[in-house]
Amino acid sequence: MTAASVAFPSFVLVNGDSKLVTQADLARVAAACQRQMIEHYAPLWGAGAAVRAATPSDPPRPGERVGKALAALSVDGALGYHDELANGDVDFFFSPELDAEDGSDWSVTVSHEILEAQADPDLRLAAQDSTGTFWALEIADAVEADTYEIDGVKLSNFCTRQWYMPPADGSGPFDYLGLCKSPFEVRAGGYAQRFDPAQGWVQVGMQRAARRKMAALGRGARRRAGATAAGMR
C-alpha cells in the first residue's frame, strides 16, 4: 500500500506575509487544486484529499496540512517545499514573490507541493525498477516543467503509477498529460532522484537554477542524518 492509497487530512492555503496574493487568489487556486486532486490525481493514485483556502472565520483546523504563502523562504534555492513537523503534521510553504522573480506561476508551485505531499508526505517512499534501482516517489519532479490549466489556473503535471511501476506490457500513461514515452523518463526541465548503493541518492536530469535543491537539505542528506524530510521544488 502506498501513502497515496490512504485518506489524508485536507490541505488548507493561508497567506503568511506575501503581498502578491489575496484571499480571492487563494480560494481560486485551492478550488483548482481540489479539482485536480479529485478528478485527476485520485483516479490514478488512490484516495485524494480536500483542498481549501482558510478564511478569518474558518482558519486552519487541527490536523490540516497548511500551505503558507510567504514573501521569502528559509530554504535557499527553493520555490516551495513541504516538511514533516515535529508533531507529525506535514505543512508546505511557497513564495509568490520568488515565483514572480523566476517568471513562474505560484499556482504551479502550490499544485506541485500538494501532489507530492499527498503521494509521499514523509519523503520515505520509493519504487524499484527491473535493474534493482530505487526511484524516489516525488511524482511531480520528473515532469515539473509541464503544466496545464483548470478553470484558468495553471497547475503542475505529475507522474502516474505506471511511471514507477510499469505493467508487464509496458503500457502507460506514465504522466497525467501523456508526455512521457516510457517509465522513468525525465522530461526536459525536470529531474528525478534514484538510489545508487555506491553514491546514495543521485539526481537524474537538470533543474533550472532557481529550482535547485540544496544538497545539504536533499532527500539523501536528510535520510542519512535521520533528520526531518523536506521536499523542495
Q: What is the rounded CA–CA span in Å between residue 102 and residue 59?
A: 30
Q: What is the rounded CA–CA span in Å between residue 79 and residue 59?
A: 24
pLDDT at 155 over 90: yes
pLDDT at 228 over 70: no
Which is higher by pLDDT, 157 or 78? Answer: 157
Q: What is the rounded CA–CA span in Å between residue 187 and residue 158?
A: 11
Q: What is the rounded CA–CA span in Å between residue 67 and residue 150?
A: 19
C-alpha cell at 233: 521544488
pLDDT in tens, 81-105: 777 766 767 788 999 999 999 899 9
Q: What is the rounded CA–CA span in Å between residue 144 and residue 189?
A: 7
